[in-house]
Amino acid sequence: MSAVAMDGPPATGLGARVRPAWDRVMVAHRRYTSANGDALAGSVTYALLVCSAPALLLVVTVLNAVGARPGSMASTLHHSARLLLPDDVAAAVGRVPPVPLALRVGLVVALLWTSLRLVRALRTAVRAMCGQNAGSGNPIVDAARDAVLGVLLLAAVAVAVTTTGWVDATVGSGWGAPAGIAVVWLLFTGLMLRFSWPQPGRPAAAAALRAALVGAGVVWLLTLGAQSYFAATAELHRELYRTAGTLVGVLVWCSLACRTLLRATAWASTVEGPRS
């Protein structure tokens, strides 16, 4: 989709250079709003909230079953998570309790269901930003595709967290932030390209990479802002919200990160060029 020229005399000088960029911003913004981007970001945030608890508990169960020491396991997960998430979010990883045997089967079912809900929310949001239908019309085919996308997403997140932690631990702590930005950059790019249909509207690879890089930078700034926010409002949270205060802050951060992904997808999807 190309930007629609606005009425009026042709711009000259600085205006001629700024106007095309402004038109591109407006095209992407109209795609985001017409597809109800804020509502979709809210649904993804809710799916993340519901999915996170069984996912973490099941990870602890699996690692305990293979003999991993809880202390070292929590330290490793927390060390990797803090490079990608605000401290108050990452700290929750170290407080995950052991899971009784009776709950393990239920956790598997819960993880499968919530993971599919998360994948469905993500792919619906990404496809909407690309101007595409959410599903194919066949619920069985869509569920199978969601399962494949879920496996790919889980593998991508596992590799991302492991790689980020390894870079920070072996190369040096100064490389933690660049590694975290690179991880989010590649994750956003993969979501744009793999969660959209291979049809008109899917972003070109180059456009997806550019938009995802900007989005990763925005998420990193949001993370820095979240650190300051939690530090400045800790006492207020304790007085007004008690334990719910941190949850509110986490949800706000997740919601802003989801909006960043969807706006970046809308931008990349409205760039003219060959599709991937």
pLDDT for 170: 72
Q: Which are the contacts of 75, defined by CB distance < 8 A and separation ≥ 6?
A: 94
Over its C-alpha atoms, the chain yields an Rg (Å, rounded) of: 20
pLDDT for 128: 92
pLDDT for 209: 94
Q: Are 269 and 201 in contact (CB under 8 A)?
A: yes
For residue 56, which of 87, 89, 85, 97 has the smallest C-alpha distance? 97
| Domain parsing of the chain, residue ranges | 26-269
pLDDT for 95: 52
pLDDT for 165: 67
pLDDT for 222: 84
pLDDT for 1: 42
pLDDT for 8: 47
Tens of pLDDT, residue by residue, the chain (276 residues): 444 444 445 556 666 677 888 888 898 899 899 888 888 888 888 887 777 666 666 555 555 665 555 455 555 555 555 555 655 555 555 555 555 555 656 666 666 777 778 888 889 999 999 999 988 888 888 888 888 888 888 778 777 777 776 776 676 666 667 877 888 899 999 999 999 999 889 999 999 999 999 999 998 888 877 777 777 766 666 665 555 556 666 777 788 888 899 999 999 998 876 555
